[in-house]
């Protein structure tokens, strides 16, 4: 999921390419079992909390400013998006093998 996000974001959002490059380096470092050399996690935590504060949501900004809260929020979002992706995959496979439409009729149950 992360690879797809970075690939799409690097093409369509040029002003964030610096962050995306740092994210790739951090991602590769974590795969190798190293800590991020550029402290990407900390930088993104500060940018996200500042963004929420600037958009008139200071409580969310303060909440995400704490490292523990930011980490748990990312874990929760990651788990929920994984569950949603798996559910949509199951629905797509069911639709592929048992389509609700026959040649003449279409019924959704």
Question: What are the residue boundaries of the structural domains of the chain, listed by start?
Answer: 1-38, 39-97
Write the DSSP symbol of residue 51: H
In this prediction, residue 109 carries a pLDDT of: 55
pLDDT at position 75 is: 86
The pLDDT, as a whole number, for residue 78 is 83
Q: Which residues of the chain have pLDDT under 50?
A: none
Whether the CB-CB separation of 78 and 2 falls below 8 Å is answered with: no
How long is the chain?
109
pLDDT of 71 reads: 86
The helices-and-strands tally (H runs, E runs) of the chain is 5, 0
Mark residue 98 as left, alpha or beta (left: phi above 0; alpha: psi -120 to 50; beta: remaining). Answer: beta
């Amino acid at each position: 999921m992360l690879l797809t996000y970075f690939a799409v974001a690097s093409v369509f959002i040029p002003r964030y390419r610096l962050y995306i490059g740092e994210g790739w380096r951090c991602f590769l470092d974590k795969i190798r079992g190293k800590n991020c050399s550029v402290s990407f996690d900390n930088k993104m935590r500060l940018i996200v909390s500042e963004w929420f504060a600037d958009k008139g949501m200071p409580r969310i900004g303060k909440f995400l400013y704490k490292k523990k809260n930011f980490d748990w929020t990312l874990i929760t979002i990651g788990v929920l998006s994984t569950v949603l992706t798996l559910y949509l995959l199951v629905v797509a496979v069911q639709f592929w093998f048992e389509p609700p439409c026959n040649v003449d009729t279409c019924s959704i149950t």
